[in-house]
């Protein structure tokens, strides 16, 4: 299965403090809008999303159809194909993608320890 770009999405208390902290670790702003309480920061191939007030807890995030530079991939597994595979393997979906659509969609699963995994396809 091709899950696409990987990042960790952090629920932060103060996006300005988080931005400063991660910049001190060598990350630079790659995408997002601080005025809308979210930023994507990048250091080499590593991506961290910081989100203030958007969700509880931290998420492992995969973006089917994108590489780590948000470039569209020609060869990727559509989220609905991934969803079908997960369901066939008895993985419980917390949120499902609408299988009757195409293009952007998302789904949410949890690993055996309760860690939340977001698959968020933008293409």
Domain 5-121 has CATH 3.10.180.10: yes
Give the pTM.
0.92
Q: Are 117 and 55 in contact (CB under 8 A)?
A: no
Which SS3 state, helix, strand or coil, does residue 54 take? coil
4-22 pLDDT, tens digit each: 999 999 999 999 999 999 9
Give every residue of the chain whose pLDDT is below 50, as ranges: none
Tell which residue, 107, 121, 111, 10, has the closest CA to residue 59: 10
State the pLDDT at residue 56: 92
Position 8 scores a pLDDT of 98
What's residue 88's pLDDT?
A: 98
What are φ and ψ of residue 69, in 5° steps?
-105, 15
Domain ranges of the chain: 5-121
Residue 122 buriedness (CB in 10 A; 0-12 / 13-18 / 19+): middle
């Amino acid at each position: 299965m091709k899950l696409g770009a990987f990042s960790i999405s952090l629920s932060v208390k103060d996006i300005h403090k988080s931005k400063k902290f991660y910049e001190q670790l060598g990350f630079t702003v790659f995408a997002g809008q601080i005025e809308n309480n979210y930023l994507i920061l990048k250091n080499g191939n590593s991506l961290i999303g910081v989100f203030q007030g958007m969700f509880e807890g931290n998420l492992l995030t995969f973006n089917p159809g994108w590489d780590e530079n948000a470039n569209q991939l020609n060869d990727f597994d559509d989220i609905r194909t991934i969803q079908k595979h997960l369901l066939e393997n008895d993985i419980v979906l917390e949120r499902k993608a609408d299988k009757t659509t195409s293009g952007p969609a998302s789904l949410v699963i949890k690993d055996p320890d309760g860690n939340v995994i977001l698959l968020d396809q933008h293409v």
